[in-house]
Amino acid sequence: MTSATPPAPGGPDSAGFDAAGFDSAGLARGPGATLTPGFRGRARPEGVTLPAGQYAESGFPVLSAGPTPNVSSTTWSFTVTNEAGVTKSWTWAELMALPQDEPTVDIHCVTRWSKFGTRWRGVSLDVLLAEVESTADFAMVGSYGGYTTNLPVADLLGGKAWIAHTFDGAPLHAEHGGPARLLVPHLYFWKSAKWVRSLTLMPVDRPGFWEKLGYHDLGDPWREQRYQGD
């Protein structure tokens, strides 16, 4: 079937692409790519950097595996459990009393939309995990409603992750994970668990909800790690 289509004439100019092989608008295909006859695509956005296979979205789409849980900040709490079973919890008031960050970040959903310059307010995981005794390399993050997702601890520390409660200057809407969600913008957004309630440190990686269903354990959009084996 591959012979049904001619190779891309000339192919892209390799000088315009970085080592990972993609440019600012999409995955670059060399000679031999399967051309889609008549397909031109949109005008390529300029001045923005999109991971391979993503497109820019101005709205804020909602994706969840089940109904949106109704979680009140009056009953909300966040609990960290280390591998010895020692727990540390924060109520809403305690979370609000911690130092707050205001990250402005790009986010990338595995369903292929990316959203630039999203403005959040929340508490860095560096603050929450600072006093936790652990040598674990992995964490399972849990949510109200039962959702789970696994992440390397290295991707939660060093100014890379927050418990976020404010989006664009307003309390985070329940559809988007309010009252509080994990925010790990450098990974695909299913890792940024909505309605977050717990973080359990684990010496050995285990798959979370989507990871059991075929999605990648790390989910780095810049390496297009969408599915297991990518």
Question: Which chain residues interact with other proteins by CB under 8 A?
Answer: 1-2, 4-5, 8-9, 11-12, 25-30, 33-42, 44, 53, 55, 57, 59-69, 111-112, 137-138, 145-146, 152-154, 157, 175, 204-207, 209-215, 217-218, 225-230
CB distance 54 to 61 below 8 Å: no
The strand pairing partners of 113, in sequence order, are 55
- Reading the block at residue 35, the tokens are 């051309």
Shortest CB 230 distance to other proteins, Å: 7
Q: Cα 150–66–194 angle (5° rounding)?
A: 45
Determine the Cα–Cα distance for residues 161 and 189; give it in Å rounded to an integer. 12
CB of 158 to other proteins, least distance (A): 9
Nearest distance, CB of residue 166 and other proteins, angstroms? 17
Amino acid identity, position 75: T
Cβ proximity to other proteins: between 57 and 101 the closer is: 57
How, if at all, do strands 77-81 and 196-202 pair? parallel
Closer CB to other proteins, residue 95 or residue 156? 156
Beta-carbon contacts of residue 84 (< 8 Å; ≥ 6 apart): 133
Choose between 94 and 146: whose C-beta lies nearer to other proteins: 146
Closer Cβ to other proteins, 97 or 213, answer by number:
213
Residue 180 C-beta: closest distance to other proteins, Å? 19
